[in-house]
Each structure stands twice: as C-alpha cells, then as structure tokens.
Amino acid sequence: MATVTSTLTINAAFLQEIKEDNRQLQDLFQQTLMLLNRPRRKRVEPRRIVRYFSWLRDQLALHFALEDAYGYFEDAIAEAPRLSEAAAELHAQHDELFQEICELIEEAEQLMYHERPCGYRETTELAIRFYRFHAEFQKHETRENELVLDAFDQDIGVGD
C-alpha cells in the first residue's frame, strides 16, 4: 500500500506545481486570441504577433518541462499499465505542439520582415493556423486531465 500512497502524493504535488503555470498560459492564450480577433485584423502589427507568439513559446516550454520533470505521471501509470500507450502518445505531442508554435513564430516573422505580403488575407491565414493550434493544445490538455483522473480512480479503486 506504500506505493499507492506515494503515487497519490506525487499527483497532488504535480497538480499544485503546474496550477500557476496553467493560469499564466491560459491568460496568454486569451490575450493572443484577443489580439488576433480584432475586427480590423490587418492593422495588427506583425511585431506584436511575434511578441505574443514568442511569450507563448516560452510559457509552453516551461509548461512541458514541468510535466516532463514530474516523470509524466510515471508512477501513476505504473499502477495502471493500460494507460501507458496513451501517456506515451500525449508525451510525444509536446514536441509536436512546440514545433508548431515555433513555425507560427517563423510565419509571423516573415510578415514582420516583409518577406511575404502582410495584408488582411495573410494575417487571417496566420490567425486561423493559430486557432487550430490553440484547439489542438486544449484537446491535448483535456486528454491529459482525463489520463490523470483515470489513473487516480484506479489507484483508489473506483476505476473499471
């Protein structure tokens, strides 16, 4: 039973530690969405988009590092091996999501340095790509939360 106690402690510490990081990350996502949702989107300076995307990249780096530092629910999954495949898949998504925000920055920089025309259409395309990225990230977070709850339920013996 000592192992079960240890697992529950680690999960609680993990959830507490990333709480603040999550709040900052969600705030930053909301601010970036508001920036891109302006009715006169073509007036948004690419420099500002690059700045917000870069802040997001840095916050995401911290977010993923925190999750990885806690062994990515390793101990909880040790108690529920059937979850390990889903955990590995979610873990791999960290690299994919990080790659995507880096590509978004590159695109915004191309607009900023006038390597591509910077009209309403180009900014809208960039905004749409960002909306998709945000949706993918939210989906990833939801699946992670479900995984933790699933492992937790199994630890305390209420899972299937």
Counting residues that bind Fe ion (by CB under 5 A) gives: 2
Instruction: Provide CB contacts within 8 A for 98, sequence distance 6+.
Output: 57, 60, 61, 64
DSSP states along 55-73:
HHHHHHHHHHHHHHHTGGG
Name the helix (H) or strand (E) containing 3: helix 2-36
Tell me, residue by residue from 23 to 62, as one string, x for binding to Fe ion by CB under 5 A and - for no binding. Answer: ----------------------------------------
3-state helix, strand, coil in the chain (%, to 5): 85, 0, 15
- Specify the residue, 55 or 64, whose C-beta has the smaller distance to Fe ion: 64
Closest contact distance (angstroms) between CB of 68 and Fe ion is: 9
- Specify the residue, 75 or 144, whose C-beta has the smaller distance to Fe ion: 144
Binding positions for Fe ion, 88-147, rule CB under 5 A: 144
Instruction: Provide CB contacts within 8 A for 52, sequence distance 6+.
Output: 28, 31, 32, 35
Closest contact distance (angstroms) between CB of 90 and Fe ion is: 6
Closest contact distance (angstroms) between CB of 91 and Fe ion is: 7
Closest contact distance (angstroms) between CB of 97 and Fe ion is: 8
Binding-site ranges for Fe ion (CB under 5 A): 67, 144
